[in-house]
Chains A and B, each alone.
Chain A
Amino acid sequence: ILNVEQSPQSLHVQEGDSTNFTCSFPSSNFYALHWYRWETAKSPKALFVMTLNGDEKKKGRISATLNTKEGYSYLYIKGSQPEDSATYLCEGGRRALTFGSGTRLQVQP
């Protein structure tokens, strides 16, 4: 992997479902990995910053893990709610300020 890649590109789930998505990045020369949440017509907002292999961060129903050796981070949402609908971006890996294309999550009531 040369760039930051996110999958899936989009996701539709029902309210109450738990879901997860992936950010992959070059594993060499790891710097830091940021997750952002971007609601439509608003500005992206930082969720987590992760710097150490094995890091786990949690904020309410949202959590993230980091594996720098294999070059991926997972974002988990437990019991999705309609207000979780947003695009989730990751940034960083080897090179700061480099973003993935995002995962667009839609939670149906």
Chain B
Amino acid sequence: DTEVTQTPKHLVMGMTNKKSLKCEQHMGHRAMYWYKQKAKKPPELMFVYSYEKLSINESVPSRFSPECPNSSLLNLHLHALQPEDSALYLCASSQEPRSGSGELFFGEGSRLTVL
């Protein structure tokens, strides 16, 4: 199994809602990542988890809250988002935390629309 699975594929939420994005991999990878991508822009790194611990937070607003319940799962909890947070959220994993040349394995993304 070389897949990273993200759910839901599409999410529409209001600014007062609380929702979560979920990411799962069963490749035994020890690093997992959240990226945010807006149209015609590069994917921007948000968070990195290494061995289930948060290792990088790229100054992401607190309305985004990551969680790594176990080595296969990564969640992104969303609360009080703004319309400008509408984007494609990509999850990725790698065998080891990125200190070598290992590739990233991506999910198909969750398309978020904030009304």
In the complex, number of A-B residue pairs with CB atoms less than 8 Å apart: 48
Known interface pairs A49-B103, A97-B98. Does A41 touch B33 (Cβ–Cβ under 8 Å)? Answer: no
B42 close to A4 (CB less than 8 A): yes
B45 close to A34 (CB less than 8 A): no
Interface of B is mostly: loop
Known interface pairs A97-B33, A97-B45. Does A46 touch B104 (Cβ–Cβ under 8 Å)? Answer: yes
Q: Which of B68-115 contact A (CB under 8 A)?
A: 90, 98-109
A contacts, CB < 8 Å to B: 4, 9, 32, 34, 36, 41-46, 49, 51, 89, 91, 96-102
B contacts, CB < 8 Å to A: 4, 33, 40-43, 45, 48, 90, 98-109
> Would you give 11 A-B contacts (Cβ < 8 Å), ordered by A?
A32-B100, A42-B108, A43-B4, A43-B107, A46-B104, A49-B101, A49-B103, A89-B42, A97-B98, A98-B42, A101-B41
